[in-house]
Amino acid sequence: MTTTPVTVHEWWQVGEARYDVEACLDKMNESQRENETVSRFSVTLQSLNLLWNLKSRLDNELGRSDSQGFRALLLAIPTARQEELCRSTGIQALAAFAPQILNQDRLRGSSVYRPGQPLTPELRNQASREHRQFKEAVDSWNSVQSGDNKEAVLKKFAALLYVVRSNIAHGEKTIHGPDLTKAQRDRTGVRSLSSSRSCSDRSHMSAGAKIGHSAPRERGSAAE
């Protein structure tokens, strides 16, 4: 009896990607059991980290940074779904979100930054660069829905998401004492990303069973 070969439609549907994709889906499901906003977001990013590492391995680009890996992940989404993501209410809301998300690393590296004190206009401008560039890219896409503008939105979205990920990881300690407002900034930034992130998830993998072989395995099964 002969079997019909599975047609591969997307990069992650090749047989050698199966284990990593299933592990990603397991981690996605785990994130839904997290009650705290920042924790749920962090676990979601861990799941995406599995995917962009897989993509880098399949592309034979193991030297990619996490930021480059996530950008490559978004650019690998089929064109129609990229456009859907760019038009989504989540992306549009994130672009319009105010106050803009600040790069914690850039704040901590500034000689004039003092936790709890108002930021100078120059420092705020520097720290909000990724969010501002993302908004500019979305505005350009809204005006002219070209391939170049779509790619710019995806790249700037990846850069902004990486900033939020890094902000969460860095903690609130600074050389000038603890940044007591950082936790609230993290929660606010993550909430603004939630709807756009869920759109990205759906755009990348519309169903776990589309791996090409079977539905995701049960946790604790013999396959593990």
- Residues 209-222 have pLDDT tens digits of 344 433 334 333 33
Say if residues 51 and 204 touch (Cβ distance below 8 Å). Answer: yes
Q: Where are the domains of the chain?
A: 11-211
- pLDDT digit string (tens) for the chain, length 224 residues: 566 665 557 898 888 999 999 999 999 999 889 888 888 888 888 899 999 999 999 999 989 988 899 899 999 999 999 999 999 998 999 999 888 988 988 888 888 888 778 889 999 999 999 999 999 999 999 999 999 999 999 999 999 989 988 888 765 545 445 555 655 655 665 666 665 554 455 445 443 434 443 333 433 333 33
- Look at the alpha carbons of 25, 27, 33, 35 in this order and tell me if their dihedral is positive or negative: negative
- Look at the alpha carbons of 80, 92, 74, 198 in this order and tell me if their dihedral is positive or negative: negative
